[in-house]
């Protein structure tokens, strides 16, 4: 067996197996176990050292036992070594253990006396590798039977639900640290109270200086009417807050200071103020155009809104 896999493959292979097993069984979160736990790193070093030591010892044992052979045995041994692996005695023995096959000259022993028009039948034993697998399936089935049909540990529906839960958690974890994933194309109007409330808090903190607390407008325009300079609707309003208004008008891009998902909430809050008619609202800006939402817009309006949309990007 040792001769089958050369040493320069054997050591890395054993090491890789050990590595995989350790990483699989030691729960070390998002970092590899050997970095998180120094003791594991130490184990790696010891393991490699042992691997090499064992190789060295086995090698010297081979050499010593070779020296102990008589000259004829040495010759026999050397001859054996020059043969291809499949013809070496050690390999043949090993194969025999796994297959229990009879060599051609032993076939007479297992020949049955059936004769089907000259076709004869051998009564070979089942190959041990196959029998082993067969017993393994029986053990598997027994364990399965007890766990899932007698103890009723869980069924497929429950397994699916738990896996989905784990996946949801992973997504949640990912989103916590992931760069904010919201943009002009994906943004949608939020209507749930907590999002609107969060939007209001952010608006009160950042925007009231120019738009007033009721969004009626002072330096910046009134945000509560249906007239928009840079286009209405969630996509345009989100975009204006992200990228700023027309250059030089005083509305800066907010994307560097506020996360896109938070801007989505602010934009949703702003749009929730539509039609609130605050007192002393700023008059409609001369450049502003009336905005109709996609859903209520006629096709003529849609053409108009596309025009408005294109100004928003400038």
Binding span for ligand HEC by CB under 6 A among 49-57, 129-137, 162-170, 234-242: 234-242
Binding span for ligand HEC by CB under 6 A among 56-64, 73-81, 86-94, 247-255: 247-255
Site string for ligand HEC, 78-107 (x = CB under 6 A): ------------------------------
Residue number with CB closer to ligand HEC (29 or 247): 247
State the Cα–Cα distance between residues 241 and 254, nearest whole angstrom.
6
Q: How far is the CB of 182 from ligand HEC (least distance, A)?
A: 15
Pick from 198, 200, 211, 309 the residue near ligand HEC by CB under 6 A. 211
Nearest to 226 by CA among 119, 304, 170, 128: 304
Q: Which of 209, 213, 303, 306 lies at the binding interface for ligand HEC (CB under 6 A)?
A: 209
The full 3-state SS of 81-123, as one line of letters, equals HHCCHHHCHHHHHHHHHHHCCCCHHHHHHHEEEEEECCEEEEC
Taking the C-alpha atoms of residue 8 and residue 10, their distance in angstroms, rounded to an integer, is: 6
The answer to whether residue 224 forms part of the interface with ligand HEC (CB under 6 A) is: no
- Interface with ligand HEC, residue 220, by CB under 6 A: yes
Residue pair 218/279 in contact (Cβ under 8 Å)? The answer is no
Q: Tell me the residue number closest to ligand HEC, measured at CB.
A: 245
Say whether residue 249 binds ligand HEC (CB under 6 A): yes
Pick 34 or 230: Cβ nearer ligand HEC: 230
The reply on whether position 22 binds ligand HEC by CB under 6 A is no
- Angle, in degrees to the nearest 10, between helices 260-272 and 233-243: 130
Residue 245 sits in the site that holds ligand HEC (CB under 6 A):
yes
Asked if 206 touches ligand HEC (CB under 6 A), the answer is yes
Closer residue to ligand HEC in complex, CB, 211/235: 211
Q: Does 33 bind ligand HEC (CB under 6 A)?
A: no
Min separation Cβ 288 and ligand HEC, Å = 5
Query: Of 196, 223, 234, 281, which lies in the binding site for ligand HEC, with binding defined by CB under 6 A?
Result: 223
Residue from 216, 221, 233, 260 touching ligand HEC (CB under 6 A): that is: 221
Give the tokens for residue 64: 């010593």
**Binding pattern for the stretch 251-280 against ligand HEC, x by CB under 6 A and - elsewhere:** x--x-----------x---x----------
| 110 contacts 122 by C-beta, under 8 angstroms | yes
Compute φ and ψ for 227, nearest 5 degrees. Answer: -105, 125
Token readout for 77 is: 């041994």
Count CA atoms within 13 Å of residue 72 on its CB side: 0
Token digits of residue 162? 């738990």
Phi and psi angles of residue 289, each rounded to the nearest 5 degrees, phi first: -120, 155
First CA to last CA distance, the chain? 73
Q: Does 240 bind ligand HEC (CB under 6 A)?
A: yes
34: closest CA among 23, 24, 48?
A: 23
- The separation between CA 221 and the C-alpha centre of its own chain, rounded to angstroms, equals 46
210 is an interface residue for ligand HEC by CB under 6 A: yes
Token look-up 């130490």 returns: 42
Contact residues for ligand HEC, defined by CB under 6 A: 203, 206-207, 209-211, 219-221, 223, 228-230, 237, 240-241, 245-246, 249-251, 254, 266, 270, 288
């Amino acid at each position: 067996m040792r001769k089958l896999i050369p040493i320069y493959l054997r050591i890395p292979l054993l090491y890789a197996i050990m590595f995989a097993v350790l990483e699989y069984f030691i729960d070390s979160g998002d970092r590899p176990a050997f970095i998180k736990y120094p003791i594991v790193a130490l184990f790696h070093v010891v393991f490699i050292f042992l691997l090499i030591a064992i190789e060295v010892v086995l090698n010297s044992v081979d050499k010593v036992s070779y020296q102990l052979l008589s000259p004829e045995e040495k010759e026999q041994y050397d001859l054996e070594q020059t043969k291809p692996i499949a013809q070496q005695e050690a390999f043949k023995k090993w194969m025999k253990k796994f297959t229990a096959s009879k060599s051609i000259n032993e076939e007479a022993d297992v020949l049955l006396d059936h004769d089907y028009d000259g076709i004869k039948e051998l009564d070979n034993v089942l190959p041990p590798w196959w029998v082993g697998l067969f017993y393994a399936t029986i053990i598997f089935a027994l364990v399965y039977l007890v766990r899932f049909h007698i103890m009723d540990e869980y069924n497929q529906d429950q397994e699916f639900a738990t896996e989905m839960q784990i996946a949801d958690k992973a997504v949640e974890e990912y989103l916590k640290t992931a760069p904010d994933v919201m943009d002009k194309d994906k943004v949608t109007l939020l209507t749930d109270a907590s999002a609107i409330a969060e939007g209001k808090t952010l608006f009160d903190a950042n925007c009231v200086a120019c738009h007033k607390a009721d969004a009626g407008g002072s330096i910046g325009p009134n945000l509560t009417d249906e007239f928009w300079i840079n286009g209405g609707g969630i996509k345009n309003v989100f975009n204006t807050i992200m990228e700023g208004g027309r250059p030089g008008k005083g509305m800066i891009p907010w994307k560097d200071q506020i996360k896109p998902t938070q801007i989505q909430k602010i934009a949703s809050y702003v749009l929730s103020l539509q039609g609130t008619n605050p007192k002393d609202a700023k008059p409609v800006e001369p450049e502003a155009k009336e905005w109709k939402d996609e859903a209520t817009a006629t096709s003529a309006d849609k053409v108009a809104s596309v025009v408005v949309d294109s100004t928003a990007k400038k």
